[in-house]
Amino acid sequence: MLARKSHGKTDELSENVLTQGRGLWTRNAVPGVRVRGEGLRRIRGNEWRSWSPRHSKLGAGILRTKEDRTSLLPRPGSQVLYLGAGHGTTISHLHDHMCGEGNYLGGSIISVDVAPRCIRDLVLLAKKRPGILPVLADARQPDTLRPWLNGRVDWLFQDVSQAGQVGFFLTAAENFLSSNGIALLSLKSASEPNVEGGSEEHYASAVEALIESGLEVIEVIRLKGWEDQHALIVSIAPEKWP
């Protein structure tokens, strides 16, 4: 059942994303249908889905950022590239935001994962949510992704928990990110070799690598409490890129 009461102050981040109290919500593009058992709430006559920070690094980053929350979101109706799409929880909330019901906004979410099981779930999701394009490919091999993209993207997200994740994030950014585009790296420090400084040393090393590549690092958002040993590194490409 839908929760009947509103809780706390409401702030709109976009037409289809808002915060209410401590919670993050997206307007459901497929009313009545849950993706991961999330809560539903009626707000201003529409059905909204709870975007849990425990199930989404992007959701966690939006709630924890010290910068403008809207700066982490892609532009509605744009084309984005998501590497490590998993089973589609975050993808579904991005779809609510940048595609909407029936994809009336005209967005395109290139959703890449190397696991066939994840792609099967994404295909099922895409049947109800036009604008999601599941791609079975290895994020470390940009040539396998190029045919699925219509030019460069303004927003890139990577959530791939493998050693060397910073390197193939930069490769993707160099190949697919547009000038002034936003690039977000969900860095899992436990996936990298042990170092004396632990997670913080991994984060600092990643920031240094991004800066050396020419990206401007805006913020490092530590997700401890929701995703331990994870940080979301937010960066932006310069005017002349790559």
By CB atoms closer than 10 A (0-12, 13-18, 19+), residue 51 is buried
- Is the residue at 214 inside a domain? yes
The reply to whether 182 and 73 lie within a common domain is yes
Query: Domain range for residue 19?
Result: 10-50
Number of domains in the chain: 2
CATH of the domain at 14: 3.30.200
The reply to whether 43 and 61 lie within a common domain is no
Structure confidence at residue 148 (pLDDT): 96
Structure confidence at residue 7 (pLDDT): 66
The reply to whether 107 and 32 lie within a common domain is no
- Is the residue at 2 inside a domain? no
Q: Where are the alpha helices (DSSP H) in the chain?
A: 57-64, 89-98, 116-128, 165-176, 198-213
Structure confidence at residue 194 (pLDDT): 59
Structure confidence at residue 228 (pLDDT): 84
The reply to whether 144 and 42 lie within a common domain is no
Residues 40, 48: contact at Cβ < 8 Å?
Answer: yes
- Is the residue at 1 inside a domain? no
Structure confidence at residue 191 (pLDDT): 66
- Is the residue at 215 inside a domain? yes
User: pTM here?
Assistant: 0.94
CATH of the domain at 195: 3.40.50.150
The reply to whether 25 and 101 lie within a common domain is no
- Is the residue at 124 inside a domain? yes
Residue 190's CB is within 10 A of a number of other CB atoms, namely: 12
Structure confidence at residue 193 (pLDDT): 53
Q: Which residues of the chain have pLDDT under 50?
A: 1, 6
Distance between CA atoms of residues 7 and 242, nearest Å = 45
Structure confidence at residue 6 (pLDDT): 47
